[in-house]
Amino acid sequence: MLFMVEMQVNIPLGFDAEEGARLKLAEKMRFQELQAAGTWRHIWRVVGQYANVSVFDVESTSQLHDILMGLPLYPFMTIKVTPLCRHPSSMHEDDR
């Protein structure tokens, strides 16, 4: 199942800089694990914002929920999830 996930990160001003750096590094490491596994298929930065648009390939909505809630920066995120399905005109067979 494919999902477009829009994530806006809002770390409060004055948040501990060392803890923020630790969380960002942990987030990057988790992203790279999920990307290597093929779960986090795409990520694009939103220009001018601390935000991204991503495509996840998961087995279920529950799996996506667990992944998102387990992200280190989750407590600071506003998330919008949109289910996707393959467009009949797509030339890419892996757009399932």
What global pTM score does this model have? 0.90
**pLDDT band at 96; cut points 50, 70, 90:** low
Q: Indicate the CATH number for domain 2-83.
A: 3.30.70.1060
Q: Which two tokens stand for residue 12?
A: 């409060």
What residues does 8 pair with on adjacent strands? 51, 78
Using the predicted structure, report yes or no on whether residue 94 has a pLDDT greater than 80.
Answer: no
Round the CA-based radius of gyration of the chain to a whole number and report it.
14
Mean pLDDT calculated for residue range 22-44: 97
Delimit the domains of the chain by residue range: 2-83
Q: What distance in Å separates the CA atoms of residue 57 and residue 24, rounded to the nearest whole number?
A: 23
pLDDT digits (tens, 9 = 90+) for 56-77: 999 999 999 999 999 999 999 9
Say if residue 74 is exposed, middle or buried (CB neighbours under 10 Å; 0-12, 13-18, 19+): middle
β-bridge mates for residue 4, sequence order:
55, 82
pLDDT of amino acid 86: 82
